[in-house]
Amino acid sequence: MMMRINKKKNSSFRVEGSLFEIDSKYEPIDSIGKGSYGIVCSCRNTDTNEKVAIKKISDVFSSQVDALRTLRELIILRNIRHHNVVQLKDVMITCSKSTFKEVYAVYEFMDSDLHQIIQSPQPLSPEHCQYFMFQLLEGVKYLHLTNIIHRDLKPANLLINANCNMKICDFGLARTSGGDGGEFMTEYVVTRWYRAPELLICRNSYDTSIDVWSVGCIFAEILLRRPLFPGHNPLDQLKRVIDFLGSPTESDLDFLDNPKAINFIKGLPRTKGVCWKAMFPEADSLALDLLQRMLVFNPKKRITIADALQHPYMFDLYNPTEYPPSHKTLDVNIDAYVGETNLRDMLWSEMLFYK
């Protein structure tokens, strides 16, 4: 429920019980939702008559993790422009550098997200599935060209418009490819159901292939209309993956350098895996072939995003000559900047880009 309070230089209203105090040019429309990292509402920009989504991050410095997540999102979205990545339009400054505790980020408005669509009774045709996957692959390829691993790809982070256009959002857990891959490994990398096997095994290094695994899980979820690996904990998640794929061979484990992890996996009950065609009876052969190349236990053997776009399943949609080049590579491995003073300075600097 949203209640308007006043309209002076700033506009004040409540969303999900939280007070929003923002530029008066933004008129509130409705609450969109409340998550662990902020509250979001829809507004209209009266200067442009454009509908936008505004996210409020409260008490941003109460947790170093939350402050870093917010800073990382602002850095990435300021530097990235792609039709399959959500656009950050504005970041409002509502008080001084020394006193601000809240961040208001203004994004382009999207009607829904892929999680809501999958959970809905709305039918999805093979063409819907193909188009969603094509857009997801295009967006992730651009991120990888820009040196970014998203690390939290899941249906709820894929925004969808009524015309079925998709945009990737939520870059708070992203990292630079080739950077310090081990930080926040077990708890803060990828929502568990979409987490690659190498992360479940707590391997201390990873690369862009973890995003490929997540994309494969999303692909399967679109086809099934339910999550493929809804594990209750990391161990249960790993067992579900192995039960589905079959017990790893020696070559499947050659990326591991931890004898304890290897012995643990070998000690699990032997399984042949599932019949993919029986699991996905409505999927065509090309869709299944691409899915099988994504959901591979060994990250070294997984298809790349670039090769996935050139797979025959994407033949009708992908034109490499139309693909926009990456203009820059980014470095968002900023965890070394500990302490509120550094984070406050860096967040303030990012906010100033929008003034």
Tokens 């999303």 belong to 218
d(CA 126, CA 203): 36
Q: Detail the residues annotated as belonging to a binding site for ATP.
A: 56
Instruction: List the alpha helices (DSSP H) in 122-258.
Output: 126-145, 185-188, 197-200, 209-224, 234-245
Is 113 catalytic? The answer is no
230, amino acid identity: P
Cα distance between the two ends of the chain: 30
> How far is Cα of residue 91 from the mean position of the Cα atoms in its chain?
20
- Give every CB contact of residue 70 below 8 A, 6+ residues apart in sequence: 37, 57, 60, 103, 172, 347
Known binding residues = 56
Catalytic annotation, pick one of 66, 90, 113, 152? 152
Helix/strand/coil (H/E/C) assignment for every residue in 266-329: HHCCCCCCCCHHHHCCCCCHHHHHHHHHHCCCCHHHCCCHHHHHCCHHHCCCCCHHHCCCCCCC
Could you list the active site residues?
Answer: 152
